[in-house]
């Protein structure tokens, strides 16, 4: 099946062919017809399966015959969690619609507001935005939503993780009630599914890949290493294995800067991208990495969703993520669109709980390796996925030695036929005829019991009769 079967215009097909696409991916085959029909859609698929084209292509087709836009108005609003992803999505839309008389734009924080306000003056057919900057522009009357026909939430789960749910709700309240809603994400958490039920109108739910799964053509492994030798091991692997394009994820911004300094000192061209960097610095580092001028790009999770590099061969988890789902998003940068990729994690002994959570999420035991010269002093303990649980012994079987603690058949029959007796009788027999408190008369008989008196106690209470 080809893209022409969707009924796209000749100009749109010309742009698709120029982008190098030949056949639609499985998720595109199911999503594009629904979007063309105007249905609400909730789609979950692995990163790299062409989710952007799922909504960009049919929306460009539908906008071709719409009336002229008013000033500062928008027809299609696309929300993304990060600046990098916003720029990536808008670039794809511009490539697909370069032969169409439609206008697209992207707005995000970290840059001056006035140039973005100027872009919106004449109206925009498709606007890609981060939630915070969009609300800033709305407060300045730079953007209006009366003509919005479609709302797209891209990487909706990431927006929820980053705390944008409040901004998203405020934006939704400003939009027309009658509109098409599309939700796309690499994975869908239970919270996202709960949110979607209040936003979507009888949506078509599409889940191409199993939840929390990774690409089949992606090789994954773990290198055990002491925490203090991680940077040395990374530098060793990059230089000795001849890796030319490596994306490395760390947990903190300071950790990213320190790692880049160590790599540069070892003669490895490296750059960093994180939230403290200006938009110009981030764009420059990403461009140099794509052009192979930088060998290693070190990033925090804030940039994980916005990095789209064709045929990226290696992704390294220098620090394991605290949230297991982020592991899927990180390694999803490689092995995309059927290409082979490699996801490697450098794990120290203190990260075993994080490793166990990841293996439990993906339901897979990661292969462990140790590099010569970096054998860890503190080995990484086995995870729950690797431990073999012993079978419980069946009831009736004991570990005692044969003959000990077992009764013969005749002894068991006598025990079964023996009548049960009260505790007092058993105690009396146990003490050899002794009575209460072990007392015993000279002839061996138990002493007589005391008689109850009818005298009133000093407290004035009557004894029961």
How far apart, in whole angstroms, are the C-alpha atoms of residue 124 and residue 223? Answer: 49
Q: What is the pLDDT of residues 236-287, one digit of tens each?
A: 999 999 998 999 999 998 999 999 999 999 999 999 988 788 878 888 888 8
Q: What is the distance, to the nearest Å, from the Cα of residue 314 to the centroid of all Cα atoms in its chain? A: 20
Q: What is the pLDDT of residues 68-89, one digit of tens each?
A: 789 999 999 999 988 888 998 9
Q: What is the pLDDT of residues 273-300, one digit of tens each?
A: 887 888 788 888 888 998 889 999 999 8
How far apart, in whole angstroms, are the C-alpha atoms of residue 59 and residue 219? Answer: 35
Query: All domains of the chain, ordered by start, with CATH?
Result: 3-207 (3.40.50.300), 218-369 (3.40.50.300)
Could you tell me the end-to-end alpha-carbon distance of the chain, in angstroms, rounded to an integer? 98
Which residues lie below 8 Å from residue 62, measured CB to CB, with a gap of 6+? Answer: 35, 36, 38
Q: Are 256 and 250 in contact (CB under 8 A)?
A: yes
Confidence of residue 97 (pLDDT cuts 50, 70, 90): very high
Q: What is the distance, to the nearest Å, from the Cα of residue 32 to the centroid of all Cα atoms in its chain? A: 26
Q: What are 200's two structure tokens? A: 């979507």
Exposure pattern of 184-222 as b/e (b: 16+ CB <10 Å)? bbbbbbeebeebbeebbeebbebebbeebebbeebebeb
How far apart, in whole angstroms, are the C-alpha atoms of residue 202 and residue 73? Answer: 27
Q: Is the pLDDT of residue 465 over 50?
A: no
What are the helix (H) ranges across 390-446? 409-417, 423-430
Q: What is the pLDDT of residues 23-77, one digit of tens each?
A: 898 889 999 999 999 999 998 866 667 889 999 999 999 997 677 789 999 999 9
How far apart, in whole angstroms, are the C-alpha atoms of residue 300 and residue 144? Answer: 34
Phi, psi of 98, rounded to the nearest 5 degrees: -70, -20
């Amino acid at each position: 099946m080809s893209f022409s079967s969707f009924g796209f215009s000749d100009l749109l097909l010309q742009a698709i062919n120029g982008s190098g696409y030949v056949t639609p991916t499985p998720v595109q085959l199911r999503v594009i017809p629904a979007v063309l029909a105007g249905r609400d859609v909730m789609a979950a698929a692995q990163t790299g399966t062409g989710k952007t084209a799922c909504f960009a292509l049919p929306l460009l087709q539908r906008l071709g015959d719409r009336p002229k836009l008013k000033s500062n108005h928008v027809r299609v609003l696309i929300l993304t969690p990060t600046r990098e992803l916003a720029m990536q999505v808008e670039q794809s839309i511009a490539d697909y619609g370069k032969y169409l008389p439609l206008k697209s734009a992207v707005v995000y924080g970290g840059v001056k507001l006035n140039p973005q306000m100027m872009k919106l003056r004449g109206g925009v057919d498709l606007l890609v935005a981060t939630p915070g900057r969009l609300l800033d522009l709305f407060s300045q009357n730079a953007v209006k939503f009366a003509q919005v026909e479609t709302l797209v939430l891209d990487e909706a789960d990431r927006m929820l993780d980053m705390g944008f749910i409040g901004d998203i709700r405020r934006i939704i309240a400003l939009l027309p009630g009658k509109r098409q809603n599309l939700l796309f994400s690499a994975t869908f958490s239970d919270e996202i599914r709960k949110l979607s039920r209040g936003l979507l109108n009888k949506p078509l739910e599409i889940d191409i890949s199993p939840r929390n799964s990774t690409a089949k053509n992606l090789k994954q492994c773990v290198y055990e290493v002491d925490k203090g030798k991680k940077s040395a091991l990374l530098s060793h692997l990059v230089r000795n294995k001849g890796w030319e394009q490596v994306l490395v994820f760390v947990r903190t911004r300071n950790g990213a800067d320190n790692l880049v300094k160590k790599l540069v000192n070892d003669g490895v061209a490296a750059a960093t991208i994180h939230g403290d960097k200006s938009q110009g610095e981030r764009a420059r580092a990403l461009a140099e990495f794509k052009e192979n001028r930088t060998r290693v790009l070190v990033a925090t999770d804030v940039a994980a969703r916005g990095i789209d590099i064709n045929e990226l061969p290696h992704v390294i988890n220098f620090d394991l993520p605290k949230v297991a789902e982020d592991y899927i998003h990180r390694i999803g940068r490689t092995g995309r669109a059927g290409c082979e990729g490699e996801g490697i994690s450098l794990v120290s002994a203190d990260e075993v709980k994080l490793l166990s959570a990841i293996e439990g999420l993906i339901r897979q035991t990661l292969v462990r390796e140790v590099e010569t010269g970096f054998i860890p002093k503190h080995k990484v303990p086995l995870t729950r996925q690797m431990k073999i649980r012993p079978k419980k012994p069946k009831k009736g079987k004991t570990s005692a030695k044969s003959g000990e603690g077992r009764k013969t058949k005749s002894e068991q029959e006598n025990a079964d036929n023996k009548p049960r007796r009260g505790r007092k009788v058993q105690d009396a027999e146990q003490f050899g005829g002794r009575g209460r408190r072990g007392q015993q008369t000279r002839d061996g008989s138990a002493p007589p019991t005391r008689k109850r008196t009818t005298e009133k106690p000093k407290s004035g209470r009557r004894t029961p009769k």
